[in-house]
Structures are given as C-alpha cells and as structure tokens.
Structure 1
Amino acid sequence: MSQPPLVHARSLIKKYGSLTAVDGIDLDVQRGEAFGLLGPNGAGKSSMMRMIGCTSPADSGTLRVLGGDPATEGSAIRARLGVIPQDDTLDTELSVEENLIIYGRYFGLPWKTCRARATELLESVQLADRAGDRVETLSGGMRRRVTIARALINRPELLLLDEPTTGLDPQARHILWDQLFRLKRDGVTLVLTTHYMDEAEQLCDRLVVMDKGVVAAEGSPQHLIRTYSTREVVELRFVDSPHADMAEKLTGLADRVEVLPDRLLLYTDDGDGTLAAIVDRGLTPAGMLVRRASLEDVFLRLTGRSLVD
C-alpha cells in the first residue's frame, strides 16, 4: 500500500474578515517530493503555508499534517517541521553557530546534541568557516543558508519554505537551489511557495498554480506547460505603434497572441518559422526573441496576468 500523504487538505478555507484568502483548496503532498505553490502576491500561498505550519487555523475544511490535526496536535506537529519564513529571523547579535544551538534548544535538544548538529549543518551549507562570526556580518545569501541550517536542527520530516530566494542575487539563488536539491536527495520533503517561475520549474516535482485563493491547475511543471502552452513563444516589442494595434496585423501567425504592456507574446510550435512569417508581412519589431514556453505562460493562459503582477 502507498504511504499516506504528509499534507492532506480538502475544501480548505481561510478568511481574514471579508477577504477569503484560501477558497476551498484540495491538495496532497507525498513523502519525498518537492511540492510548490506558485502564484502572484495575494494568491493565498502564504496563508496556505501558515495553516500547514500550524500557526494559523483553518476556518473550515479538513487539514492533516504528518497525520495529525493542526487544530488539536499543533505543538506535536510543529516539533517535526522545519520552517524557512520569507524574512530571516536570525539574531544578528549572536554568532552563526549560536543561532543554531539556541534554536535547537527550543525543541528540547541537549546542548551537546545542538552543538554537534550545528557543526554538521554548517558544514553542509558551506558555512563552517563562518560559525563564530556574527550574523550581521553575513551577506543576504549567507543568511538564507544559515536559516536553512537552523530549520534542519530538529531533523524535520517536512520543510516549509515561504519565498526562499526573494531578494537574492542570481548567484545566491543558485547556491540555495543546490542546497535544496541536496535536501531532497537526502529524503526531506519540501513544500515551497514562490512567484519565480524558473524556481518552480527547477525545484518542484509537482505544483499547484494558485490565483485569488483557488487552485487554477495542478501537475508537474512539464505537464502544465504541455497542457496550457505551445512548445515555443515569440516575444515582440514595437516602439512606434501600440502593441494592441500590432496584434491585429499578426492574425493567423500563431495559435494565440497575448498583448502585454511592454511586448507581444505569440504562442507557436515553430518559433523560427513564425519569425520568418512576421518579416514576410513587412513588420519590423524593435526586438524579437524566440524562447521555450515556461510556467509564466501557463499562468498567463489561466489567469490573464503575469506571475509578478
């Protein structure tokens, strides 16, 4: 028999006054997978994470985390979770190692165990040489790596990451991605929120696309792209004419045309052929680009707006 999901939600609802942040969501997170909640700000991702993390009660519906009910077993569930919040909550006046040790004590771990795990974890995130440094001296990317190490001090079965790379430069993001790949390889189950489509494609085995508190689509990144987009996308930019006007001159050249404020997107399975057809019509865009379809294109198809709106 297959193992039960680590997170099981049915008809889950969360309200803040008159605002329904999560509106009847169903989802399951299986052991060992990296599961993503993808969507723009305000989609309900963080509200879902707080409910899964047993820090915000659901208003209605069923939620089970690690087999327990957050409403009655929240403390026991939290002891088996690791949480990486959007904003670092490290104590900047303590050393890197002290942040991990003190956090481990919150779980009732002995001092000796906390020290041993802190040494092991800082080695794993390549910060062993900074163990004695105060946190305030670290870069943003290093602080995120310390936060990951701290979240693992209790050896969690489930790691929750809320916008883990927001604000990081590209190099720091890729270093962090490598750390998360290693955790998944070691059997840690990941649930992460993001509005970066490339991050979701890189990290997630499976994800849900959220919009206005509901699930718009669910599946692997590759499945969603195949289902809701063409293989390639042609991006065009015009300077002298409104993009909406230019879209009318492109009729019949693509399966679908999206008009965005700064560019036109033409969805096609043959990007180079579409570019040639555009030139044949005598059109001269200021910029042209052929790229593969992405999760952002999926979101545009499902909601009519960009992931970062």
Structure 2
Amino acid sequence: MHHARHTAPTLLLCLALGGPAACTAPDTEPPPAPAGLTAQAGSASTVHVMWNAAAERDGVTGYQVFEGDRLVRELPADKTMVDITGLTPQTGYAFTVKAEDAAGNLSAAAPAARATTLAAKAEDLRAPTAPAATTARATGPRSAWVSWSAATDDTGVTAYDVYQGGVRIHTAGPGESGTALGGLQPDTVYTFTVRARDGADNSSPDGPPVDVTTPPASGDGPNTAPAEFTATASPGAVTLAWTAPDTGRETSEYELYVNGKATTVIQFGAGAVPGGRAEHRLTVTEPTGTVWAVKLRARLPDGNWGAFSAERRITLVA
C-alpha cells in the first residue's frame, strides 16, 4: 500500500530556492516486510533463520534480525539467512526480520518464526554419514528442487545443509528429504551438494554432487555454459575437458576459475579451436592433497563472458 506523503512545506521551500528541478520529496515510505521467514534449530545453541529476498523494486539495502525485541544481526541485502549462536539449550526463541531501504526506512517486522534449541548432550565428535544420493531438477529459470537420501548419526541428524560452490545456501530440517531453491540465474549450470549435521554442529562429508541447468528466461538466447565439464588430477597435472557451447561461431577463449577466483584464460590458436569436445592440460606445482574447485566460462561472440560450467572439486596428486 502506498501512503500519502505531506510534502507541501518542502515543496514551497525548494521552489523558492531552486525552482521545480530542486524539488525532490524525501523518501518516507518503508519497504514491505520480508516474506517466507523460517527458523530451524541446528544445535543446542544455534538457530538458522531464513527469509525470501526482497524484490528489486522495493529498494532494500539491508536486513535487521531480532530475537524478541533484541537486535541480534544486521545483514546486507544479498544475505537472506543467518545462524544465531550463543543460545540456551532447550529454550524457545522467536525471531523477526525487518527490511531497510537506502533512506533508512524500516519495514514492519515479518511474522515471528519460532524455534526451540535442542537439548545439550555429552561431547559429540562423530559426524553424520553423508547423504548417499542427491537429485535435482530445474523448476524454472530462477528456481530448482534438490532432494537427498537420509543420513545417519549416533546422536541423530538435526539438519541438512545445501551447498553451491562450497557455500551453504539453504538449511532444511532433519525430517525433510528435499527443498525448493530460489534466486538462481537463468541459463546457468549449478552444482549442488548436501551435508548432514548433528546437534553438536558436526557436518558430514559432501553427498554426491548434482548438476542443474536452469532454462533461459523469456527472450534469452541459447545456453552459453560449457557442458559435461570434467576435471581429472594426475601426477603434476590437471586435465580439463568440456563440450563447447553453441555460441554461433567457434569458441576459442575460456576463463578458468580455481577456488572461486579467475586464474587464467585458456586460448586455442587458429586451426586448433575445438568445435565439440575440448581438452586442456594444466601443469601444477601445488602440494599433494591440495583441493581445487574448478569451473570455466566461454568468451561469447559479443565479447562478454558466458555462463559458468558446473564446478568440479579435485585433489591434486604428486
């Protein structure tokens, strides 16, 4: 709902000082309250709080998270989940979130989400087993559904965490076997993994990775991500292979990312540009046991970089 703003005195003053061009009414209208707020106890002392991202038109620049009436965290607009720590075991908590815009207007609080922390247990050093299977499918240009098989733990699984590119992006409850993910980009390959967590916050190893390609949004062109990307470690080397995207002409230049950072540009010379399956061998000097997360993207005919391939994790060998 849009509220009327009382700007008559301001209008008269700015007309006198600088004419109509100098008149800009102050922004006094708060953004909408965040939607989709949930709270999930992860251990005896932590609760994971999540909510839906604000629409771009709302102009949200950050969020304030409250436990009861107490402000516990402030986050930028691109963060829509947080772990609240240092809580008391077996205690009920109510969390709310407010959105803030560039003018400092705060929204109303989202309806409270409640969670009760778990009971404290004797020291638990054993992590759960990894979920044995992971599946996923795109449900639209900006959304996907990820599911997993149940894990086991000696004291009980308390949560499942979904990771993308080594970053946790969602937490689900212990009784859940799948979840919807939003906020994705169209025409992009995502690699998701799932870890189980117990009441002592011990995390399992990653379950098997699963790739999802979101479809193009209306009006978008063809998929620009390198497909069927693989990375294989051998003594002193890493071999990368992929299928070149269909960009309308030969794709001779690729940008390689290692552990989230651009590291090199792979270029194929004239007469050597792969039209289908491409391969490139890297010489490595890092110690045995070093873990790399690798992905790449192609230079498009318009000069821009295309969508990223799936990400692969490999362990270097001597």
TM-score (norm 1): 0.27
Larger radius of gyration: 2
TM-score (norm 2): 0.26
Q: Which has the higher helix share?
A: 1
Q: Which has the higher strand share?
A: 2
